[in-house]
Chains A and B, each alone.
Chain A
Amino acid sequence: MADPDPSSSAGRPRRVVLTGAGALAAGLAEGLVAGGAQVVLVGPDGADAGQGVLGHIPTGFDSSADTHDAFARAVARLGGVDQVVHTWLAPGLLAGCAFTSVVEDSWAASCEASLDAAWWLARAAAVPLRERGAGSMVFVVPTLGMSGADGFAMLAAVAEGLRILAKGCGRQWGSTGVTVNTVTAAAQHWVAGPAGVELARTISLADPALGSTGDAATDLAPLVEMLASPQAHFLSAATLVADGGVWMGL
């Protein structure tokens, strides 16, 4: 069997391009670095990139060219890429509001811009990952894409779109040895404070079976790391629900 993760046998750190912003990206970066990875953060704000990241490539994912350029710069900074982790969502998705109050410009700037960003990133990642003949891509999205969410229709729609984008890439890239998976996490990782707690209550009667909805660095990052490991070489186009045991709809 070919080594699904040549970085491990090469004895060098796993090289990770991580997109995103805020506490989730920072926590994932921290956890991935703690696991021995080299991480470059790609996103609009590097101020909270997390400790230990190798660098930050600023981009707002405003166009295909911008996204491709930012990704290429991140790969160059790392000297290659073993894993791409996409968490970025347009900020407008994260403010809850009634669907009927969403105006068309906001729909485009939030929902469609988030779809565009993921689409462009996947296309940018396709070439180096496929040429490498190994590696992984992971989409981290809120579980509420599968459950739907009152007041967060745009966020749920995007989350479900990205989850199926991962499956499509998984189907297309599998023959080259590249795996593509989705990790879904509790809404509180994106929607902070009481709004996130209230949102969680609308999608499940149950509290988290494991007692909390998790920490990005210590609960989610190890899963992302696992998906790049040889142990996960036969896992692709899968959805790993990592919300502490709230959503059990699969």
Chain B
Amino acid sequence: MSAPAAGLLAGRTVVVTGAGGGVGAGIAEACAAHGASVVIAARRVETGEPVAERIAAAGGRAVCIRCDVAVRDDVDAAVDLAVSRFGGLDAMVHNALAPVGSPVQIQDVPDDTWEAMKATAVRASFHCAQASFPHLREREGTLLLISSATGVEASPFLPAYGVVKAVQRGLAKSLAREWGPFGIRVNCIGPVAMTPAMERVYTLNPVLEERLTGRTPLGRIGDPATDIGPVAVFLISDLSRYMTGQTLMVDGGGFMGF
């Protein structure tokens, strides 16, 4: 099988949640660079619109929609926009997540943090999966959940984050089994990338930056568009047509726990 170096996603449509910045924006831009039409689903359009404009300026196709992933109607609207504007849906990428909060012992995690983690990772994964299913089935598409190595090895700093990222992995494996007969593939990515969210985490926990870089064989923190995005493209493309239920850690080798 041969595939072009670019255009791996030509003719396909991808919804990316949390695409107003960071990993989501990187994935959206990488998908567009490979020919996909992209729906930028962002909680704040003032962050999503510039991403769509950058994609358009580079010759790609993208449209932004306001989307709070904790609200089913918002997720439905993003999917509907993909179908109405671009003719269908080939991939749903759920990346959005509320701020992870400060490093804290489990008994001191604010209730708001726990609820926000559940809403944007657990409930939102449910929304994204359910809303996209009929369209993914129609086109034998892909559901991609952005998880984390913390969902495997847990965190001494962010106990709630580890739990919800693990839930996503358990869900992805199950949906991979359940939806495989429909030709739908379900995978996860565990990225480590320099994003505004990561910068906030570093500010709250300066020790983390040193430790994270120190354990990364490739010696640097990833770039959302050039390091993480291409792996999402791969998992959406036919190159990975026989992969499902997997988590690819895209972290410079920082986690080798499998």
Q: Which residues of A contact B (CB under 8 A)?
A: 64, 98-100, 102, 104, 107-108, 111-112, 115, 119, 122-123, 126-127, 144-153, 156-165, 167-172, 202, 237
B170 and A159 contacting across the interface, CB-CB below 8 Å: yes
Among A144, A151, A159, A160, find the residue whose CB has the most chain B CB atoms closer than 10 A. A160
- CB of B151 within 8 A of chain A? yes
Q: How far is the CA of A148 from the CA of B172 in the complex (A)?
A: 8
Known: A104-B126, A107-B123, A158-B167. A115 touches B118 (CB 8 A): yes
- CB of B32 within 8 A of chain A? no
Known: A127-B107, A168-B154, A171-B156. A158 touches B170 (CB 8 A): yes
Q: How far is the CA of A171 from the CA of B151 in the complex (A)?
A: 14
Q: How far is the CA of A167 from the CA of B153 in the complex (A)?
A: 7
Identify 6 new A-B residue pairs, CB closer than 8 A, beyond the known A98-B178, A157-B168, A168-B156: A111-B126, A115-B163, A119-B114, A127-B107, A168-B159, A171-B155
List, sorted by A's number, 20 A–B pairs whose CB atoms are closer than 8 Å.
A64-B111, A99-B175, A102-B126, A104-B72, A108-B123, A119-B106, A119-B114, A122-B106, A123-B106, A145-B170, A149-B174, A157-B122, A157-B167, A161-B170, A164-B150, A165-B162, A167-B154, A168-B154, A168-B159, A169-B106
Residues of B within 8 A of A144 (CB): 174
- Nearest-neighbour CB distance to chain A for B151, whole angstroms, equals 6
How many residues of chain B have a CB within 8 Å of chain A?
42
- CB of B96 within 8 A of chain A? no
- Nearest-neighbour CB distance to chain B for A230, whole angstroms, equals 25
Q: Which residues of B contact A (CB under 8 A)?
A: 72, 105-107, 109, 111, 114, 118, 122-123, 126, 129-130, 133, 150-156, 159-160, 162-179, 245
Residues of B within 8 A of A152 (CB): 174
- Secondary structure call for the A interface: helix
- Nearest-neighbour CB distance to chain B for A207, whole angstroms, equals 19
Residues of B within 8 A of A151 (CB): 178
Q: How far is the CA of A64 from the CA of B168 in the complex (A)?
A: 23
Q: How far is the CA of A165 from the CA of B154 in the complex (A)?
A: 7
- Nearest-neighbour CB distance to chain B for A124, whole angstroms, equals 8
B167 and A161 contacting across the interface, CB-CB below 8 Å: yes
Known: A123-B106, A160-B169, A167-B153. A153 touches B162 (CB 8 A): no
Q: How far is the CA of A172 from the CA of B103 in the complex (A)?
A: 11
Residues of A within 8 A of B130 (CB): 99-100, 102
- Nearest-neighbour CB distance to chain A for B100, whole angstroms, equals 13
Residues of B within 8 A of A150 (CB): 174, 177-178
A170 and B154 contacting across the interface, CB-CB below 8 Å: yes
Among A126, A144, A153, A163, find the residue whose CB has the most chain B CB atoms closer than 10 A. A153
Complex: chain B residue closest to A203, CB-CB: B177
Q: How far is the CA of A186 from the CA of B159 in the complex (A)?
A: 26
Q: How far is the CA of A123 from the CA of B163 in the complex (A)?
A: 14
- Nearest-neighbour CB distance to chain A for B102, whole angstroms, equals 14
B178 and A168 contacting across the interface, CB-CB below 8 Å: no
Q: How far is the CA of A172 from the CA of B166 in the complex (A)?
A: 17
A165 and B174 contacting across the interface, CB-CB below 8 Å: no
Complex: chain A residue closest to B104, CB-CB: A172
Q: Which 4 A-B pairs have the closest CB atoms?
A: A148-B173, A160-B170, A167-B154, A164-B166
Q: How far is the CA of A104 from the CA of B119 in the complex (A)?
A: 12
B118 and A157 contacting across the interface, CB-CB below 8 Å: no
Residues of A within 8 A of B166 (CB): 160-161, 163-165
